Amino acid sequence: MFKKSLANIKSFSPLRSSDRRRFREDLLIAFPVLKDATAEEGAPSLAPEGLQSAKFATHINDLGVVYMVDGNPVWIKLDKSTLSVKTVPSVYTLWKYPNMLPKIVTWGPVVGKLMGGADLMIPGLIFPSEGLPDVKEGELVAITIKDYPFPMAVGTMAISTSKLTAQSNIKGKAVLIIHVYKDHLWAMGSKADPPDLTDVPVQGDAEEDEEEVAEGRNVSDTTERTGESEVASAGIVEAGAETELSESSKKLSTDEVDAFLRTSLYHALMFKLTPKHPAELLPMSASMLYSSYILPSRPVGVGSEVDVKRSSWKKVAKFFKAMEKSGILKTKEQRGEIYVTGVNWQHNELANLKSYKTVESHPPASSSQAPSANAASSSSNSAGGGGNSGGGDGGSGGSIQVIDLYKPHGTEVTAIFKDRNRSKDDLFTVIEARNVLMEYVKEHGLVDPQNQRLVKIDALLCDALLKKDEYHTVDKLPREQLLQRLIEKMQPWHQLIIPGKNAVDKKGAVKPVHITVERRQGRSTVTLVTGAEYFDLAVDELVEEFKKRCASSAAVTPLVGASPKLQLQEIMVQGSHIKNVSDLLLAKGVPKKYIEVMDKTGKYK
């Protein structure tokens, strides 16, 4: 429900004392377990004096009210007749009262799929020995991870638990997710993490089939976006292009996918991880190595075909175990997650590697011939790539690519980069920023000798990355959490790569193209398009093409409320033409993930 930003939210206003009392009484009726929890001495009030509320509409036009306390959304009230309880707690409230709702348990990696907007499927459930709690269809439940007490999501049962057993072969949706950790409702608050989250895997490979867990999600797209739910890794690392590769529409066999996947691993190790940096980058989770290093290192021309789901291993975990057996990697399993702890740099497959163009370091338009999978397997033609780009969801050779970049910002953060002789004016991908951070950690001896995953916090890291209330309580942090905090402190930029043009660096995160259908003057319906300028599209040309494709009149006017410096335009097409407009934007190379649609007439599904 909150996968995207709220389409509309009114101003917050404080609740009167009588309204707060009534709200508290309603909560105690809806959630009786809170009566004892709030009766304890020193327990926080359910409706404190600072409680504020505001009406909102989601991107799918669901209406409701959000309640805020101390800058965090704590409750939402939804205008949905299908809910047995209209008021829903946020994850911030669930972390205070983790046992207020019946719990449905799933695997850690499944939560990563829920963060991407999927509902929880029946094959993703873990059935405890005592059975599932007795919950009827439509009632609220909290989603937790195995052996972890704090909820990560809240939703309603799509089927009564009485119909579900470990032996049943029922498939389909188990829980309809309303709100999940790291969605846009969570982002309205302090963006705090759940207690002890660092010890809980929320990325990687579940034992269940991911296609069943994340309904309607293309397996390749799901795997490639794993790194985005962590820190949205992105970037380009230069490599000498000795072997030219081109687009190929040929479907690869399983053996060919296996060969190219191994090649991409060898390339990622030698040209991205590199023998110079293993000490500061390892140990690294298998999911991070796969999504941020191996996938970007796939060869141009066959990259979209090369995915672990199409290989003989089927799962990331099995692939890394096979690579360990081959002697190229050392791994260990910790709490259900596989970590790569070492690389055999003297392995035969890493000797005499040659560089080729990867799916990220080279735009997907080339005229040379792609190597065969047999050649990739036998001669190990591996090369270097970068991080994940935001471009080309199934696009053609003309697809626009978006690379997320970050710039040091603030005196404290800049000091970290200055210590490693980096300029404060340079732009960094996530991987490059991580390398700088790990160089700093290694140079100052901050790795915890008892746990290599933890980094000791020195004075500079304290000032740059800790909150004031953490100065005297936090002395160590996991590497990935330290990186995430660094990225959040840096200034977002992005690089736009348009085929046939020079790459352009732009300040700020990339903004999407908005397609809005609404009614004007009674029954008249129009389609509004804004944001085409962000992808260097000529608005006047688009207007003419919209006229032809939609067989309707179209006009362009300055966008109301936009800064005159930006010179943004709004295209208005008569009639409802969401599909036609979307198809044309995709044909122009705009990645699908950067096209946002809203139908205010309520007809488009």
Residue 80, pLDDT score? 63
Band of pLDDT at residue 275, cut at 50, 70 and 90: confident
Share of the chain above pLDDT 70, in %: 81
Q: Is the pLDDT score of 308 beyond 70?
A: yes
What are residue 184's phi and psi, to 5 degrees? -75, -25
Residue 603, pLDDT score? 58
Q: What is the pLDDT of residues 517-539, one digit of tens each?
A: 998 877 789 999 999 998 989 99
What are residue 246's phi and psi, to 5 degrees? -135, 170
Residue 360, pLDDT score? 66
- The per-residue pLDDT of the chain, averaged, comes to 79
Residue 148, pLDDT score? 85
Q: What is the pLDDT of residues 133-190, one digit of tens each?
A: 999 988 999 999 988 889 999 999 989 988 888 777 778 899 999 999 988 898 888 8
Residue 297, pLDDT score? 85
Domains identified in the chain and CATH numbers: 8-202+209-214 (3.10.400.20), 226-396 (no CATH), 405-492 (1.10.245.10), 513-599 (3.30.780.10)
Q: Is 216 in a helix, a strand, or coil?
A: coil
Q: What is the pLDDT of residues 220-240, one digit of tens each?
A: 333 333 333 333 332 323 333
User: Alpha helix locations (H) across 385-538?
Assistant: 411-419, 430-443, 459-465, 479-489
Residue 213, pLDDT score? 43
Residue 367, pLDDT score? 35
Pick the residue with more confidence: 15 or 283?
15
If you average pLDDT over residues 326-338, what whole number do you get? 83
Residue 46, pLDDT score? 83
Q: What is the pLDDT of residues 29-75, one digit of tens each?
A: 888 888 877 776 666 778 888 889 998 888 777 888 999 998 889 99
Residue 12, pLDDT score? 84
Q: How far apart are the first and last CA of the chain?
A: 15
Number of H helices, E strands in the chain: 19, 24
Residue 520, pLDDT score? 81
**DSSP 8-state secondary structure symbol assigned to residue 372:** P
Pick the residue with more confidence: 388 or 233?
388
Look at the block and give the residue holding tokens 């509004």. 528
User: Alpha helix locations (H) across 273-336?
Assistant: 278-281, 286-289, 316-325
Q: What is the pLDDT of residues 405-448, one digit of tens each?
A: 999 999 999 999 999 999 989 999 988 999 999 999 999 999 99
* HSE, side-chain direction, 13 A CA sphere, residue 191: 8
Band of pLDDT at residue 198, cut at 50, 70 and 90: low
Beta bridge pairs of residue 265: none
Q: What is the pLDDT of residues 553-583, one digit of tens each?
A: 999 998 888 777 778 899 999 999 999 999 9
If you average pLDDT over residues 284-298, what whole number do you get? 82
Q: Is the pLDDT score of 341 beyond 60?
A: yes
Q: Is the pLDDT score of 214 beyond 50?
A: no
Helix axes 411-419, 479-489, angle to 10 degrees: 120
**Which range, of 20-24, 370-374, 476-480, averages the lowest pLDDT?**
370-374
Give the DSSP H/E element, type plus range, for residue 256.
helix 254-268
Residue 104, pLDDT score? 94
Q: pTM value?
A: 0.41
Residues in Cβ contact with 386 at an 8 Å cutoff, skipping those fewer than 6 apart: 234, 235, 236, 237, 272, 296, 358, 360, 361, 403, 429, 431
Look at the block and give the residue holding tokens 């497959």. 349
Share of the chain above pLDDT 90, in %: 28
Interior angle at CA 276, CA 275 and CA 282, nearest 5? 75
Residue 400, pLDDT score? 86
Residue 231, pLDDT score? 30
**Which range, of 157-161, 197-201, 221-225, 328-332, averages the lowest pLDDT?**
221-225
Band of pLDDT at residue 371, cut at 50, 70 and 90: very low
Pairing label, strands 153-157, 173-180 = antiparallel
Residue 383, pLDDT score? 33
Pick the residue with more confidence: 4 or 330?
330
Residue 290, pLDDT score? 85
Do residues 234 and 291 lie in contact, with contact meaning Cβ atoms separated by under 8 Å? no
